[in-house]
């Protein structure tokens, strides 16, 4: 589904672009805030990133559209440029690549924390683990999509995800 | 607006707030350094969830993934030097005999089996002094060289 929306966006369909922005914009903002941007800067950079992507598509310079990774990289680039121009010191986290970026050498988690969190995930039921993997699996499905797919109510879907997340974040060690 | 609660931050990070509530929260964090720092930490934890999900999905079919049978094993830190690996050890603790020991993360999420990974590790000269256990850096399985 996400694939076909991206294909339509690549053909210049405005409605498809709007749907993609709607689906991924907040993730882009969170990724920048995680790297040290203030929320207002993150919103501005995300917006500029989307505008540049649309412009690139209109100029025929966008062959592929892998979201949200591409938008996160574009927004991060814009933010780093702003920091450089303003002479702001970029926090170390700002240099990290997005989790699903091509250059994944530098991740949020070191191996020890990743291992610890994976072991916590293994303690979840099969269904809850599958739900978590689907929710955070990259294509950015909505909670309503997930509820449909797993035969759960929307409220129950959110509750399960919230509980799993809480346990994993506790295993992560920083709340 | 009062300071942000952890629940509020987690809901923001997960994209579960209504737009008006989200805007109010972000406006507060823009003006309050304490909450901004906590929001950033919340965002990092949320980003980490994507890494966890990707790593989990990359394992062989859920629950049946092959693992090193040695989780939690502690090896002398010197073993790292012995094989010339320069990455920072995952976790260093003090053992009962006072020597620095490294809690080795021994999950390999990409090698199909122990034999393959050990054979690759041996070929690349990457065994530890124990002679048995390939080592892994943060993103790449050093034993087999594949992304994990
Ligand atoms: Zn505050």
What mean pLDDT comes out for the span B62-84?
36
Average pLDDT, chain B: 62
Consecutive 10-residue runs of chain A (175 residues): their mean pLDDT? 80 95 95 95 96 95 91 93 81 55 56 92 96 86 92 95 95 70
pLDDT higher than 60, residue B55: yes
pLDDT higher than 60, residue B8: yes
Q: How much is the pLDDT for A118?
A: 95
Contact A133 B49 (CB under 8 A): no
What residues does each domain of chain A span? 1-102, 103-175
What mean pLDDT comes out for the span B101-113?
40
pLDDT higher than 70, residue B85: no
| Dist CA A70 CA A31 (whole Å) | 12
Contact A111 B136 (CB under 8 A): yes
Cα separation values, A80 from A22, A36, A109, B62, Å: 24, 10, 21, 38
- Per-residue pLDDT band for B84 (boundaries 50, 70, 90) equals very low
Contact B29 A130 (CB under 8 A): no
E strands, B34-129, in order: 74-76, 91-94, 100-103
- Of all residues in chain B, the one with the smallest CA distance to A123 is B63
Q: Out of A100-109, A165-174, B78-87, B123-132, pick the least confident.
A: B78-87
Q: How much is the pLDDT for B112?
A: 52
Q: Which residue has the higher pLDDT, B75 or B145?
A: B145
Q: How much is the pLDDT for A4?
A: 85
pLDDT higher than 70, residue B110: no
Q: Out of B22-26, B60-64, B127-131, pick the least confident.
A: B127-131
Q: How much is the pLDDT for B113?
A: 52
CATH 1.10.1740.10 is held by the domain A1-102: yes
| Dist CA A145 CA A23 (whole Å) | 12
What residues does each domain of chain B span? 6-58, 65-141
Q: How much is the pLDDT for A78?
A: 94
Q: How much is the pLDDT for B61?
A: 59
Contact A129 B105 (CB under 8 A): no
Q: Which residue has the higher pLDDT, B116 or B28?
A: B28
- Residue A142 forms contact with B (CB below 8 Å): no
What's the gap in Å between B6 CA and the centre of ligand 1? 12
* pTM of the full structure: 0.68
- Of all residues in chain B, the one with the smallest CA distance to A135 is B53
- Residue A166 forms contact with B (CB below 8 Å): yes
Cα separation values, B103 from A162, A170, B11, B133, Å: 30, 20, 34, 13
What mean pLDDT comes out for the span B10-15?
94
**A46 token code pair:** 């995300």
What mean pLDDT comes out for the span B95-103?
36
What mean pLDDT comes out for the span B106-128?
48
From the list B39, B45, B50, the residue facing A169 with the nearest CB is B45
From the list A114, A126, A161, the residue facing B62 with the nearest CB is A126
Contact A137 B16 (CB under 8 A): no
CATH architecture of A103-175: Orthogonal Bundle (1.10)
Give the orientation angle of helix B33-58 with respect to helix A126-135, to 10 degrees: 120
Q: How much is the pLDDT for B89?
A: 38
Q: State the ipTM, two decimals.
A: 0.87
| Dist CA B56 CA B104 (whole Å) | 19
């Amino acid at each position: 589904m996400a694939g076909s929306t991206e294909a339509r966006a690549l053909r210049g369909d405005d409605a498809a672009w709007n749907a993609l922005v709607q689906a991924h914009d907040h993730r882009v903002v969170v990724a920048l805030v995680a790297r040290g941007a203030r929320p207002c800067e993150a919103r501005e950079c995300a917006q500029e990133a989307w505008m540049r992507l649309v412009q690139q598509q209109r100029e025929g310079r966008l062959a592929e559209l892998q979201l949200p990774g591409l938008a996160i990289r574009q927004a991060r680039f814009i933010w780093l440029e702003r920091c450089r121009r303003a002479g702001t010191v970029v926090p170390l986290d700002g240099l990290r690549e997005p989790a699903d970026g091509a250059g994944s050498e530098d991740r949020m988690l070191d191996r020890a924390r990743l291992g610890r969190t994976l072991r916590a995930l293994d303690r979840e039921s099969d269904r809850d683990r599958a739900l978590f993997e689907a929710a955070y699996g990259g294509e950015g499905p909505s909670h309503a999509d997930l509820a449909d797919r797993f035969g759960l109510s929307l409220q129950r879907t959110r509750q399960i995800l919230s509980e799993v997340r809480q346990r994993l974040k506790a295993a992560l060690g920083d709340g | 607006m009062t300071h942000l609660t952890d629940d509020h931050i987690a809901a923001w990070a997960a994209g579960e707030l209504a737009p008006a509530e989200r805007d109010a929260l972000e406006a507060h964090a823009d003006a309050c350094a304490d909450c901004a720092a906590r929001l950033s930490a919340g965002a990092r934890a949320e980003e980490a969830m994507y890494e966890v999900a990707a790593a989990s999905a990359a394992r062989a079919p859920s629950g049946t993934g092959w693992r090193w049978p040695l989780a939690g094993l502690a090896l002398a830190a010197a073993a790292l030097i012995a094989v010339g690996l320069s990455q920072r050890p995952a976790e260093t603790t003090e053992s009962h005999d006072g020597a620095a020991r490294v809690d080795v993360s021994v999950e390999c999420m990409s090698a199909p089996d122990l034999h393959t990974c050990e054979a690759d590790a041996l070929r690349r000269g990457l065994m530890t002094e124990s002679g048995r256990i390939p080592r892994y850096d943060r993103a790449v399985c050093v034993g087999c060289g594949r992304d994990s």
